Amino acid sequence: MNKALLLLLMICFSCSPEKQDILTGRWIDLTHDFSEESVYWPTAKSFEKTTVFEGHTHAGFYYTAYEFSAAEHGGTHVDAPIHFAENRHTVDEIPLEQLIGPAVVIRVADKVKADRNYQFSTDDILGWEKDHGQIPDNSILLIDTGSDKFWPNRTEYMGTDERGEEAVKKLKFPGIHPDAARFLATERKTKAVGLDTPSIDFGGSTLFESHQILYENNIPGLENVANLAKLPETGAVIFALPMKIKGGSGAPVRIAAFIPGK
C-alpha cells in the first residue's frame, strides 16, 4: 500500500501510525458496470457505447477505441446538490474530502420486502444508533435496502422497464423519508448519503423532498450503489470519485470501499 493511501486511511480512522491492522484489508467495488443494461430513469438517455475502431491497424498493431453517451443521472452515479438546490455545489465543486470517509451502513432490507415503496425513517437511524452509538461526524451514510440483487432487471429493481413520462408513474422502489433527510441534515453531520436504488426519494415521490432537503444543505447523494451487503455496518472507508463534469448536476462515479483487517 502506498504511503499516501496509508496516511489517508489513518486520517479516516483517526488511528496512530503504530496501528498495524490498517496495513492489510480488502477492497469492495460498489459500482455497477456501465453498459446498455445499466438502469436509467425512464425519461433519461440510457448508456450507449459505439465502436470507433477495433482490430489490427494497417501498421500491424492492435488498437481499440470507443465512444459513449449517457445522461448524467443513471447507473452508479452522484447527484450534485445543484440537481435540486439552486446555487449549491455542482459536481466539480463538491470537495473531495466530502466523497471520501468512514462508512456507516444501515440495513432495511427486511422492511423493504414488505413494501417496495418503503421510506427509510428517523427510527431506522435511531434504532441503528442504539446498537452502535451515534453516527460519527463526517461519515458517509449508506442505506442497504436489498435492491442490489435485482440489478439490472428494471421491473424488479424499479417497478417498470417502460420508458417515457408515463413510466415514471409506475416506479416502485425504496428511498429516504423527508423527515429522515431533515434529521440527517440538521441533527447529524453527514458528508454524503447513498443507497442501492435509482433515487434518494422513493419511487412514488412526486416532490422529491428528500433531494431538496439534503441538497439544500450541500449533502450529495449516491444512487444505484452496488454490493452494500458485503460491507460491515461500520469500519469501511468509502472513496466515491465522480467524473469531474464542470457545472454538472450529476456524474458517473466509481465507488470503492476499503475494509481494513488481518
- Domains of the chain (ranges; CATH) run 3-45+72-260 (3.50.30.50)
133 phi-psi bin (left φ>0, alpha ψ -120 to 50, beta other):
left
Residue 181, all three cell numbers: 433527510
Q: Which of 30, 8, 181 is nearest to 97 (CA)?
A: 8
Instruction: Write down the mean pLDDT value for the chain.
Output: 93
Out of 19-23, 149-153, 210-214, 230-234, which region has the weakest mean confidence (pLDDT)? 19-23
Tens digit of each residue's pLDDT (9 = 90 or more) over 14-29: 544 444 455 578 999 9
**pLDDT reading at 179 higher than 90:** yes
**pLDDT reading at 1 higher than 60:** no
Residue type, 119: Q
Q: At what angle do helices 122-132 and 178-186 cross, to 10 degrees?
A: 50
The reported pLDDT for the residue numbered 185 is 97
Q: Which of 98, 100, 101 is nearest to 81 (CA)?
A: 98
Residue type, 191: K
**pLDDT reading at 6 higher than 70:** no
SS3 254: strand
**106-to-11, 110, 128, 173, 242 alpha-carbon distances in Å:** 23, 12, 7, 17, 23
Biggest alpha carbon–alpha carbon distance for the chain? 67
Mean pLDDT of 187-212: 97
Mean pLDDT of 74-96: 98
**233-to-1, 65, 143 alpha-carbon distances in Å:** 24, 40, 10
> CA–CA separation, 166 vs 28, rounded Å?
37
**pLDDT reading at 244 higher than 70:** yes
The reported pLDDT for the residue numbered 9 is 58
The reported pLDDT for the residue numbered 24 is 79
Q: Higher confidence at residue 187 or residue 14? A: 187
> CA–CA separation, 168 vs 40, rounded Å?
11
The reported pLDDT for the residue numbered 8 is 60
> CA–CA separation, 172 vs 194, rounded Å?
18
Q: Which helix (H) or strand (E) holds 167?
A: helix 165-168
> CA–CA separation, 106 vs 234, rounded Å?
9
SS3 86: coil
The reported pLDDT for the residue numbered 173 is 98
pTM over 0.85: yes
